[in-house]
Amino acid sequence: MTSQAETSSSSTPVIRCDSVYKIFGANAKNMLDASNGIVDAAKFQEAGCIVGVNNASFEVFPGELLIIMGLSGSGKSTLLRCISRLTDATGGKIYIDGEDILSMNDKQLIELRRSKMGMVFQSFALLPHKTVLENIAFPLQVKGISTEASIKRAKEMVDLVSLTGRENYFPRELSGGQQQRVGIARSLAIEPDIWFLDEPFSALDPLIRKEMQDEFLRLQGALSKTILFVTHDFDEALRLADRIAIMKDGIIEQLDTPANIVLNPATEYVRKFTEEVPREKVLKIESVMDPFNPTQDMSDLKVPKNAIIETVAESILNSSKPVAVINEEGAIVGSLTASKVVNVLFGGHTGKSGEQSS
């Protein structure tokens, strides 16, 4: 959390949204102009307009993974499409690297997509008439890169997503997971700075989904892209995100780190999501530790402050004395007792008790 705050103050955001609205319908623009920015979805619906995104403002920083979470119809995919300008936002401003993309003409937009953006789709959206290799090389070829160079690059991408040996397969000959690997490789072929993923793993079986999430984390560890990731799966969001934006009816209900969302849900709607979440799988040690008291009799065991509780719980429970919590430099920043961990693990699974315990 603190590291997040540091990056935000030190660098400019890659993506910045300023009161973005997307309203579908014939008269949407006029109605929005007349509403002074206060959009009542029910009123708009009566007039035949459907509100997709309602006053979304946020920033995404370099190397950050922001997940937009919401159920179907919440406007999360619409928001993503506004930012990639696959649809034009009805109102507001969207900046990519400080440039206003809504005022870009077609040529600039194509240039932006060819150099900075990659996108992965829920239904994979591979070109059925092209092989794995040709699909991955496609964004390079439309850019005008020679066949030889683009195929060479595509081969590297095939290796990166572990599809070596299947270069000449057609999409129909691959499993869902493999197809999405191709989709990922295609979106990364031009080495984009910004990576959009629209429910990339939702169409996959649970086991494959887990495997692909691991693969995704591995890739992100190696590549450090700025990522906007859309999902309806709260567990997936908690597992992957730096920050999560939870959307409902086009409105961002809360935008915060996974731990803060679980510990301090902003609205009733968000609380419902967090209720069933096993918090030891989400929370880091630092969010439940006590302040360090030098006079205390400490165990020899030290745990890093950004470890997920579940991964160190067993050793803390086995230790009779409080355990020291250290930061990246190895300095002790807090302590944790077994009883505290027990409380997290088996205590009341509500947001309130979470607040008390921290």
Contact residues: another protein, CB under 8 A: 81, 84, 86, 106, 110, 113-114, 117-119, 121-123, 125-131, 133, 138-139, 142-143, 147, 151, 167-168, 186-187, 190, 196
Nearer to another protein, 86 or 333 (CB): 86
CB of 99 to another protein, least distance (A): 17
Residue 57 corresponds to which tokens in the numbers above? 């403002």
CB of 173 to another protein, least distance (A): 13
The span from the CA of 126 to the CA of 144, in Å, is: 20
Nearer to another protein, 161 or 282 (CB): 161
- The DSSP output letter for 173 is G
Nearer to another protein, 14 or 285 (CB): 14
Question: Which residues in 296-323 are b (16+ Cβ under 10 Å) and which e?
Answer: eebbeeebbbeeebbebbeebeebeebb
CB of 142 to another protein, least distance (A): 5
CB of 111 to another protein, least distance (A): 8
Nearer to another protein, 109 or 307 (CB): 109
Nearer to another protein, 167 or 280 (CB): 167
Distances (CA, A) of 48 to 76, 146, 148, 202, 299: 21, 49, 52, 31, 66
The span from the CA of 271 to the CA of 284, in Å, is: 19
**Other Cβ atoms closer than 10 A to 12:** 12
CB of 129 to another protein, least distance (A): 4
- Torsion of Cα atoms, 66 then 69 then 72 then 77, to 10°: -10
Angle between helices 206-223 and 176-188 (to 10 degrees): 20
Q: Could you give the 3-state DSSP secondary structure of residue 222?
A: helix
Question: Contact, 252 vs 220, CB < 8 A?
Answer: no
CB of 24 to another protein, least distance (A): 14
CB of 191 to another protein, least distance (A): 13
Nearer to another protein, 146 or 267 (CB): 146
Nearer to another protein, 179 or 287 (CB): 179
